[in-house]
């Protein structure tokens, strides 16, 4: 058996050194270090890289981390929630504000402010969002897929830090399986009252299943859980393949029985993840664990590249 | 200030008496008692009753509780996940099995068993599900909505305990905003390779928004969180109205910032729930809290009816 | 494999019937039903019954449930926190109040109110507690054990609903391994400035270890975790025995690595719980799960007695 | 209102830069950045620095982080659990091993291994611990305090990385209010069967209350919750003072009503923390959040020192 090696912390240390120091420890620290090893392998090897993003990660400040990963070729397929895309679009012209969770919510409403835990959003940004959507949503004779609509929207956004724009520029498909459950959905429906815009609810499935079929090796990073997690994993179900690498950063735990907290091992029983896969779940707030994992994995990747 | 009145527990006591005893206590007990008061008001008053169901509640054994609520007129609008409907359909011809969470998942796969925490499902039931879906999914010249598809499927199921069938019989619309994220979605897509079946992703929005508009008073019960929670609450956003009564039974907590654990108070800042609403969140496993709440509220309702 | 049998909920149903209905379900419901089966066996068989109580259960309203269990012979050994005993003593002359968790805590302090989540306690009750303690704490020439001090205090309280008094009346030893960490500890120290009162920190260990040695069979109910859980379990460590039945009702989960959330299986690796033991952990708020478990187990016990 | 500034992550970045980048974000990231600001103030200002350590942090690998903080003068008062000190002593001659949480615990017992989530400990290390304790525990004619016993033990350990030894060298008092609830307690009791060793359970209270009285300004870092949290905070209660700075790193949330998850705001209602205090709770696994906080705070401290 290997020994626990006590962590060593120093002023000025890098995130990579911190994670190195966590590798032979217990609990969340070891899981986080394990996630970095798997992510390094995913980014440096020949893997089709899926990224399942849920939780209010864009309002919380992870937009640029995601769009940078896309622009650097570290995400091949993005599966996310409508909410993250709505807030991505808002950030392209407006902004979110630092708020407090212990707010008087009725007073906030009176002031025209919507709250996402400790982040505030002003009605004027929503109004501008709605106007933008009505001006850019397409008028389409043919029925389109959700991915096509996301690609179209991405092309209308000029902000290079935008997730949608970055995906557009890099040719990364953006799947949003619960699109009706978002303000993009609401606006698309309003738009379709006067224009023609029909999105075929099931058309995306063909595209993601095809990607799964064509992947020799595949890896997935799951932030949170929910629909993005399940949609990504289930797409492997109808193929003879399964994920070879899997990382999950979540605050949910397995004991509730829900999918968001389900272990990645459970997904092996379904055939979604390979019995030989390397996988790890890091329990905790992804606004902390995700940037640590990315910073450390990118550092190791840089060293690999400079060595070769 | 009111005094905490210590709980009294006795052999043979009813669920209603238990909840009565919790009313002047602290922590989860008081929240649970509060949920019963709000639910009693919702069921006995003139409210449009929304029900947002997420989590693997059907595999866990809550199918009949939900279908009975529908048949007894206690649910006017159902918003749920594809997974719950898939498992509802499977229960109409097959069954789930009692398993253990500490399983060897690779061995389960080898045996053809998929695991949902401590519930097992055999591949043969999935295969039968797929065959059933291919035989009953419609061939439709016109583009339909998700609600129409759910209604159609409900009409094809003969099991009266089915949620889909009960909703069909009672004229309750079933919204499933993330339908592509489920085996119904996968089967619908396969079906559409040879038959014509196009579901307009946004068509449901009109119907739920119309229901919101037409509701004089409205209440919502939210089991879990996720897409069903958000879709139900956001539908009020585009109307001048908001929910008057709201109950949330969830294992998620607000500190993570995600929507599933967001307080109902937060929804007031968005205008989704009224600043004057009565609302409560009960933290804990809904397989425990939900049946307690239902049993106690139905008991009180019965007494009201027998009095009148 | 056994089938999941869907729960059936009816108006007027008893807690026992509710739990019966949960037995063949998944997730928390099944765990709760399992806890009732184990508790029924513990209460009806020849077991030394340990009860480890942590969490602010007395302020939350579970005082009478515990004292009734003691008076009915269902607890042989009580291990608890100083806080629960402090609030037990306060309830014997004063009361706790129903408060709200979203309070202005600085304003509460200004009004002389201390908050325990959604329960309030007025300074006047604390002052009366301090006066009571100074008047009843003993002046002892000999060094005593914690259990002896608890027994002495129990004898000074006249309220029959008191946990300490009930334990005194029934000859149940009360262990409080972290007694200095409570207002009883603070008051005992103040008292010892002018009177003689020395409690030997380790004297209790002999007594609980002796009880463990002498138990042919033993069972433990753990509410929460913390020191009461660990002290109870570790007492078996120095004997050749181990617990045969174990129930844990907790909100902590294993993933954090802490003792409070540790699985009961983990305790098998230490030899604290028998490898052949029946055990279950119910995840969730004990103010809900504990009264349900007690009501159902007492109901079954009553039926057993009426049959025999 | 301040804008959310999206995080920027780069290869090679320092922990300090990572935390800087989190400062204007939401959720856990902002809380973590806030903890660093408060910790920097605590370490650079004139504060009596309390450190409340619970959870199995030594087995998990945080022993050297704590002992380094002590040796560098960053901890003035340590309040901890017996378990952390037991494992600190074991690390001074033996070691913990990297294990897996999904173990067969009966098989582990058969092999003589005790499990702490994903950390293993071999019986031989426990046996050596017991022998060491029996050889170094003192024979004392006079009744002593827990702090005196801890100091004595610290002086018997030669490993400079030991928490107990570091505290001994630096004159930092080590409070362990639940000492009987640990293997040190069990060994001390065994020892007292043949030698004289009486620890006065309440003697420590005087010492910690005196420290509180004498502190002009005070700060506290709380890892986990439990007895160390409560004992530290309650010690301020009997003084006219209260904590000016407070940081809590915990996996517990307030909704359960327990002390471990209680907000620091709640402690303001008790007068334990000042209404003017700066305080923050970071929710999450302390094996991740604590080293990040320490690394970033030490980095800023170094810069301050190099500037002056």
For chain B, the domains span 46-286
Q: Which of C7, C26, C98 to mutate to test the interface with B (most CBs of B within 10 A)?
A: C26
C151: enclosing H helix or E strand:
helix C146-156
Nearest CA in chain D to C209: D186
pLDDT bin (cut points 50, 70, 90) of residue A1 is confident
CA distance C48 to C59: 27
- What pLDDT is attached to residue C92? 98
- Which 28-57 residues of chain D touch chain B by CB within 8 A? 28
- Which 123-162 residues of chain C touch chain D by CB within 8 A? 143, 146
- What pLDDT is attached to residue B194? 93
User: Per the CB < 8 Å rule, is B185 touching A202?
Assistant: yes
Nearest CA in chain A to D101: A27
C257 interaction partners in chain A (CB closer than 8 Å) = 26-28
Residue B233's Cα: distance from chain center in Å? Answer: 14
User: Per the CB < 8 Å rule, is C97 touching B2?
Assistant: yes
Backbone conformation region of residue D232, classed left if phi is above 0, alpha if psi is from -120 to 50, else beta: alpha
* Mean pLDDT score, B247-256: 95
User: Per the CB < 8 Å rule, is A284 touching D287?
Assistant: no
Asked whether residue A308 carries a pLDDT value surpassing 90, the answer given is no
* Mean pLDDT score, B39-61: 97
CA distance C221 to A238: 46
- What pLDDT is attached to residue C307? 85
The DSSP code for B2 is P
pLDDT bin (cut points 50, 70, 90) of residue C1 is confident
Q: What is the pLDDT of residues C225-240, one digit of tens each?
A: 999 999 999 999 989 9
- Which 242-301 residues of chain C touch chain D by CB within 8 A? 251-252, 254-260, 262, 265-271, 275, 285, 287
* Mean pLDDT score, A33-41: 98
D295 interaction partners in chain A (CB closer than 8 Å) = 9-11, 13, 18
Q: What is the pLDDT of residues B262-281, one digit of tens each?
A: 999 999 999 999 999 999 99
Asked whether residue A84 carries a pLDDT value surpassing 80, the answer given is yes
In contact, C197 and C122? CB cutoff 8 Å: no
- What pLDDT is attached to residue A307? 85
Closest by CA to B57, choosing from A250, C28, C16, is C28
- What pLDDT is attached to residue C176? 98
User: Per the CB < 8 Å rule, is D28 touching B256?
Assistant: yes
Smallest Cβ distance to B202: which of A180, A226, A260? A180
Smallest Cβ distance to C27: which of A26, A102, A256? A256
Q: What are phi and psi of C217, to 5 degrees?
A: -135, 150
3-state class of A117 per DSSP? Answer: coil
Edge-first strand order for the sheet with B77-80 is B174-175, B77-80, B48-53, B218-223, B243-250, B273-283
B102 interaction partners in chain D (CB closer than 8 Å) = 102
pLDDT bin (cut points 50, 70, 90) of residue C210 is very high
User: Per the CB < 8 Å rule, is A258 touching B56?
Assistant: yes
Structure tokens at C143: 């060094």
Closest by CA to A59, choosing from B258, D289, B178, D280, is B258
Asked whether residue C308 carries a pLDDT value surpassing 80, the answer given is no
Q: What is the pLDDT of residues C185-205, one digit of tens each?
A: 999 999 999 999 999 999 999
Direct distance between the N- and C-terminal alpha carbons of chain C, in angstroms, rounded to an integer? 34
Q: What is the pLDDT of residues C238-269, one digit of tens each?
A: 899 999 999 999 999 999 898 999 999 999 99
Asked whether residue C136 carries a pLDDT value surpassing 90, the answer given is yes
Asked whether residue B1 carries a pLDDT value surpassing 90, the answer given is no
User: Per the CB < 8 Å rule, is A189 touching B180?
Assistant: no
C27 interaction partners in chain A (CB closer than 8 Å) = 256-257
Assigned architecture for domain B46-286: 3-Layer(aba) Sandwich (3.40)
Per-residue pLDDT of chain D (308 residues), as tens digits, is 899 999 999 999 999 999 999 999 999 999 999 999 999 999 999 999 999 999 999 999 999 999 999 999 999 999 999 999 999 999 999 999 999 999 999 999 999 999 999 999 999 999 999 999 999 999 999 999 999 999 999 999 999 999 999 999 999 999 999 999 999 999 999 999 999 999 999 999 999 999 999 999 999 999 999 999 999 999 999 899 999 999 999 999 999 898 999 999 999 999 999 999 999 999 999 999 999 999 999 999 999 989 87
User: Per the CB < 8 Å rule, is C253 touching A255?
Assistant: yes
Smallest Cβ distance to D255: which of B102, B256, B283? B283
Nearest CA in chain A to C283: A255
Structure tokens at B277: 């609403």
Smallest Cβ distance to C255: which of A102, A253, A257? A253
Torsion of CA A166, A169, A175, A176, to 10 degrees: 50
B215: enclosing H helix or E strand:
none
> Which of B49, B151, B241, B272 is flagged as catalytic?
B272
- Which 168-227 residues of chain C touch chain B by CB within 8 A? none
- pTM, rounded to two decimals: 0.98
Positive/negative CA dihedral, A157, A159, A161, A166 = positive
Strands (DSSP E) along A105-236, which ranges? 113-116, 119-122, 174-175, 218-223
Closest by CA to A249, choosing from A308, A294, A204, is A294
Q: What is the mean pLDDT of chain C?
A: 97
- What pLDDT is attached to residue B185? 96
Structure tokens at D100: 């897996």
Subunits adjacent to chain A (3 or more Cβ pairs under 8 Å): B, C, D
A254 interaction partners in chain D (CB closer than 8 Å) = none
CA distance B55 to chain A (A): 5
Composition of chain A by helix, strand, coil, percent to 5: 50, 15, 30
CA distance C27 to B257: 25
* Mean pLDDT score, B50-71: 98
3-state class of B25 per DSSP? Answer: coil
Environment class of A160 (CB within 10 Å of its CB; exposed 0-12, middle 13-18, buried 19+): exposed
Smallest Cβ distance to D27: which of B26, B253, B257? B257
Nearest CA in chain C to D276: C106
């Amino acid at each position: 058996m290997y020994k626990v090696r006590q962590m060593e912390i120093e002023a000025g240390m890098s995130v990579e050194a911190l994670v190195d120091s966590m590798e032979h420890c217990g609990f969340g620290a070891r899981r986080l270090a394990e996630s970095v090893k798997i992510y390094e392998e995913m980014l440096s090897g020949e893997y089709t890289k899926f990224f399942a993003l849920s939780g209010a990660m864009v309002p919380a400040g992870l937009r640029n981390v995601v769009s940078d990963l896309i622009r650097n070729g570290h995400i091949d397929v993005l599966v996310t929630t409508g909410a993250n895309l709505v807030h991505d679009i808002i950030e392209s012209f407006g902004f979110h504000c630092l708020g407090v969770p212990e707010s008087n919510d009725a007073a906030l409403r009176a002031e025209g402010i919507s709250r996402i835990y400790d982040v505030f959003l002003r009605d004027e940004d929503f109004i501008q969002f709605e106007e933008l959507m009505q001006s850019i949503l397409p008028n389409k004779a043919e029925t389109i897929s959700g991915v096509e609509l996301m690609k179209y929207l991405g092309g209308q956004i000029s902000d290079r830090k935008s997730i949608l724009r970055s995906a557009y520029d890099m040719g990364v498909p953006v799947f949003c399986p619960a699109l009706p459950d978002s303000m993009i959905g609401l606006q698309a429906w309003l738009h379709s009252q006067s224009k023609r815009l029909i999105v075929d609810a099931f058309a995306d499935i063909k595209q993601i299943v095809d990607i799964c079929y064509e992947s020799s090796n595949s890896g997935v990073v799951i932030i949170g859980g929910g629909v993005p997690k399940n949609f990504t994993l289930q797409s492997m179900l109808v193929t003879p393949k399964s994920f070879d690498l899997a990382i999950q950063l979540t605050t949910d735990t397995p004991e509730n029985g829900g999918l968001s907290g389900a272990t990645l091992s459970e997904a092996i029983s379904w055939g979604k993840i390979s019995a030989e896969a390397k996988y790890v779940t890091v329990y905790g707030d992804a606004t902390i664990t995700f940037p640590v994992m990315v910073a450390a994995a990118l550092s190791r990747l840089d060293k690999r590249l400079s060595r070769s």
